[in-house]
Amino acid sequence: MTRTTLVLANLRRRLRRTILTVLGLAVALFLFVSLRTFLHTLQTLGDVGSESRLVISNKLGIVFPLPLAYRARVAGMDGVHTVSHASWFGGTYGDGRSFFASFAVDPDSYFSLYPEIVLPPEQRAAFMADRTGAVVGVKLMERFGWKLHQTVTLRGTIYPGDHAFTIRGVYTAGKKGFDQGSFMFHHRYLEERTRDQGGAGLTGWYVLGVTDPERAPGIARTIDAWYENSSAPTRSQTEKAFNLAFVGLYGNIGFFLNAIGMAVVFAILMVAANTMAMSARERFSEIAVLKTLGFSDGEVMRLVVIEALVISLLGLLLGLGAAMLVFNIVQFDLGGFVPGLSVTPQIAAIGAGVALLIAVASGVVPAWQAGRLRVVDALRYTA
């Protein structure tokens, strides 16, 4: 038997209460960690972007196109090894309720710029040979239950009408966090289908591969300067910056998520503190006995705090464990909208910190009371 035995025995005394407190803590920590994970992933969407790829879009905004004519000049730049272009298609499938990304690309250059798109060579060859072919992410295939070589019809929102494609390739992500739910097809096919709608000679954006990431900002500035006074001025930035800009669209959602996280922590702190105080109050006579036996004030306080710590630790293991299960293992991703949700070591550490804080805050008053307890008052009876 050790001091640990005493602490554990005390926790077992009112098992239901201990379990409820631990569960309450676990629930709160799960929520807290989930919110932080969501926030963190949103903020690091930009990290998936590469520093050695530049995105050139219309300065006015992503909804405005760029002339295909820019390509030749940009490709000739010193420091640029590959140029590709792509256009947002915005197609829907079936009843149109399930969102996915669809865009037309310049295939060879695009795939060589994105080694993260992993495609078996024979599928790539089949795609290149079929101008109506499509390369689809594995997650999207699963969602709609498509099969390789199946012909699917997408309804255009920007380019009206129904457009047929044949799935020639299924890609997976070669890098963690890279999206696996996109639909890509030949840019030429898009130009063909939209010839009468004024889409000729236009593209949505360019992607450049630069040989030296250090030179990327300089190259971006040069390109933007070239076209500054044209009818389609450009804005060039690293892919990382481009992705981060999308995160910025969410506004102060980060602030709100943090606020909610705080409220959660406070609420559970009330619960934990209450429980600790109740337990301690019931045991004042025992604490007096311990002091009689010679346990010092400090030692008695430590016992109370350790009890609070054990409860917190159990709650942390459960709550953090559940979160890691949901995000890291099952890989829940909010229906495809936020891929790559994952509890990082930093987030786990913050969760542990919160659990520690709750333990200390809820245990400090009962511990202090225990330390100050006078034996003669607690064990008072007729003399």
Partner 1 sequence: MKIPLIYNLRSVLHRPATTAATALGVAFVVLTFVGMLALANGFRAALIATGRPDNLFVLRSGADGEISSGIGRDQAAILRGYPEVAKLADGRPIASADVYVVVSKPRMDGSETHMPVRGVGTEATQVRAVRITAGRMFEAGRAEVIVGRGLAGRMRDTRLGDRLRFGQQDFTVVGHFAAGGGAFESEVWGDAETLMSVFRGPVYQSMVLRLADPASFETVKARIEGDRRLQLQVKRESDFFAEQSSLLGSVLRFIAIFVTAIMAVGAVFGAINTMDAMVAARAREIALLRTLGFGGRSVLASFLIESVFVALIGGVLGCILALPINGIRTSTTNWQSFGELTFAFRITPEILLQGLAFAVIMGLVGGLLPAWRASRQTLASGLR
Partner 2 sequence: MPLVDVQGVSKVYQRDSLSIPVLDAVSFAIETGEFLALMGPSGSGKTTLLNLLAGLDRPSAGRIQISGEDITQLKSKRLAAWRSRHVGFIFQLYNLIPVLTALQNVELPLLLTPLKRAERRAHAETALRVVGLEDRMHHFPRQLSGGQEQRVGIARAIVTDPTLILADEPTGDLDARAAQEILELLVRLNREYHKTIVLVTHDPHAAERASRSLHLEKGALLEQTRAGMPAGGAS
Residues of this chain that interact with partner 1 (CB under 8 A) are: 16-17, 20-21, 23-25, 27-28, 30-31, 35, 59-64, 90, 92, 96, 155-158, 160-161, 197-198, 229, 231, 233, 235, 245, 248-253, 256, 260, 263-264, 266-268, 270-271, 273-275, 277-278, 282
Binding to partner 2 in span 293-312, by CB under 8 A: 293-299
Q: HSE on the CB side for 325, CA within 13 Å?
A: 7
**Binding at 96: pick from partner 1, partner 2, none (beta carbon under 5-8 Å per type):** partner 1
The site that binds partner 2 (CB under 8 A) totals a number of residues, namely 30
272 neighbors 362 (Cβ within 8 angstroms): yes
**Binding at 294: pick from partner 1, partner 2, none (beta carbon under 5-8 Å per type):** partner 2
* Smaller CB separation from partner 1, 35 or 74: 35
Closest distance of CB 198 from partner 1, Å = 7
Rg over CA atoms, the chain = 30
User: Angle of helix 3-13 relative to helix 297-324, nearest 10 degrees?
Assistant: 70
**Binding at 345: pick from partner 1, partner 2, none (beta carbon under 5-8 Å per type):** none
Binding to partner 2 in span 3-22, by CB under 8 A: 3, 5-6, 9-10, 12-13
**Binding at 9: pick from partner 1, partner 2, none (beta carbon under 5-8 Å per type):** partner 2
* Nearest-angstrom CA–CA distance, 360 and 112: 55
Closest distance of CB 285 from partner 2, Å = 7
Q: Which one of residues 274, 285, 331, 346 is an interface residue with partner 2 (CB under 8 A)?
A: 285
* Smaller CB separation from partner 1, 75 or 277: 277
Binding to partner 2 in span 362-381, by CB under 8 A: 374-376, 379, 381
292 counts as binding partner 2 under rule CB under 8 A: yes
Length of the chain: 383
CA angle, corner 237, sides to 233 and 240, nearest 5? 150
Residue 58 is which amino acid?
N
Listed in sequence order, the DSSP H helices in the chain are: 3-13, 15-43, 70-75, 107-113, 121-129, 138-144, 187-193, 216-227, 239-248, 253-282, 284-293, 297-324, 345-372, 375-378
* Nearest-angstrom CA–CA distance, 295 and 281: 18
**Binding at 235: pick from partner 2, partner 1, none (beta carbon under 5-8 Å per type):** partner 1
- For residues 63, 175, 170, 114, the Cα torsion angle rounded to the nearest 10 degrees is 50
**Binding at 286: pick from partner 2, partner 1, none (beta carbon under 5-8 Å per type):** partner 2
* Nearest-angstrom CA–CA distance, 178 and 166: 24
Using alpha carbons, select from 167, 188, 166 the residue that is nearest to residue 105.
188
Residue 190, token pair as written in the block: 């898009």
* Nearest-angstrom CA–CA distance, 77 and 222: 10
**Binding at 379: pick from partner 1, partner 2, none (beta carbon under 5-8 Å per type):** partner 2
Q: Which one of residues 168, 240, 291, 302 is an interface residue with partner 2 (CB under 8 A)?
A: 291
Task: With contacts defined by CB under 8 A, name the span among 69-77, 121-129, 254-262, 284-292 that binds partner 2.
Answer: 284-292
* Smaller CB separation from partner 2, 197 or 296: 296
Angstrom distances, CA of residue 272 to CA of 10, 253, 312 = 16, 29, 9
* Smaller CB separation from partner 2, 21 or 109: 21
CA angle, corner 145, sides to 88 and 336, nearest 5? 50
Residue 303 is which amino acid?
L
Residues near partner 2 (CB under 8 A) are 1-3, 5-6, 9-10, 12-13, 285-286, 288-299, 374-376, 379, 381-383
